[in-house]
Amino acid sequence: MKMLTLLVLGVMAISAYARPASSSPMANISQSSPQDTTVLFTPADSAFFVNQPRFKAEKLNAWGINILFSENGYGAGAFYRRRLTNQLFGNVSIGLSSVKDTREVEYIDPFTGETFVPGKINRFLMLPVALAIQYELFQNVIMPNFRPHIDAGIGPTLIYSSPYDREFFSSLKYGKAHYTFNAFIGAGAFFGSDVHSLSGISVRYYLIPYSRGIESLQGKPMKQFGGLFLLLDLGLFF
């Protein structure tokens, strides 16, 4: 009986030894498992972010309109601006504004309700043209949505006088042109995206002399047509 038991155990041992490795349960699991996959992620190039230009799509040219306010009157104008370097711009502007003598005092006629200025003999319209240089300050130092600048310019000016005792539009054909020059210095800032539109505000001090003088009030000729101007700028890039 013992011999039979030993014989059975020996046969089982030989069978187990002779079985191929693939028939092992662990071997089956190992073979049926898919191969490991390694995914490598390379780091982003930081220079892509650091060296990007301040504006994604810089455009060299811009044009727009100005709304002008001053102690002598108000008006409107237009401008063309071109980028010369990263911080330097060339600017050509033209404006049309009314001008009055600061010594004028306006009254209301109690019978007609119309306004009048005692002693006034001429109205003035002023058309300054200026070629200017504009320099942008603190670039890449403060936020790109706020771009302060300084500028200076010079150019010719037309001063048109027309008689005060006639209706405004009909008086224009009786007017007279006077020519002089203008020079200004200023400062301001642009706001918003520099890619699509241009909007800002600036202050300029104009020097517009006319040495011979032109009478606005009788016997009191004006010799200085400049002063402090506030400008609102609205433009588009192209």
Mean pLDDT of 137-160: 88
- Residues in Cβ contact with 10 at an 8 Å cutoff, skipping those fewer than 6 apart: none
| Mean pLDDT over the full length of the chain | 82
**Among 129, 128, 132, residue whose Cα is nearest residue 90:** 132
Band of residue 5 on the pLDDT scale cut at 50, 70, 90: low
Q: What is the pLDDT of residue 71?
A: 83
Mean pLDDT of 136-150: 83
Cα distance from N-terminal residue to C-terminal residue, the chain: 107
What is the pTM (predicted TM-score) of this model?
0.71
Give yes or no for residue 67 having a pLDDT over 60: yes
Q: What is the pLDDT of residue 23?
A: 45
- Per residue in 74-101, pLDDT (tens digit) is 899 999 999 999 899 999 999 999 999 9
Contact 91, 133 (CB under 8 A): yes
Mean pLDDT of 145-151: 91
Give yes or no for residue 206 having a pLDDT over 90: yes
Per-residue b or e along 128-167, where b marks 16 or more CB atoms closer than 10 Å to that residue's CB: bbbebebebeeeeeeeeeebbbebebebebebbbbbbeee
Give yes or no for residue 15 having a pLDDT over 70: no
3-state secondary structure of 170: helix
Domain 60-237: which CATH class?
mainly beta
Q: What is the pLDDT of residue 138?
A: 84
d(CA 93, CA 65): 9
Sign of the dihedral defined by the CA atoms of residues 73, 205, 200, 153, in that order: positive
Rounded to the nearest 5°, which phi and psi values hold at 17? -70, -35
Give yes or no for residue 14 having a pLDDT over 70: no
Give yes or no for residue 121 having a pLDDT over 60: yes
Q: What is the pLDDT of residue 45?
A: 47
Q: What are the extents of the domains in the chain?
A: 60-237
Look-up of token digits 């670039």 = 139
Contact 84, 95 (CB under 8 A): no
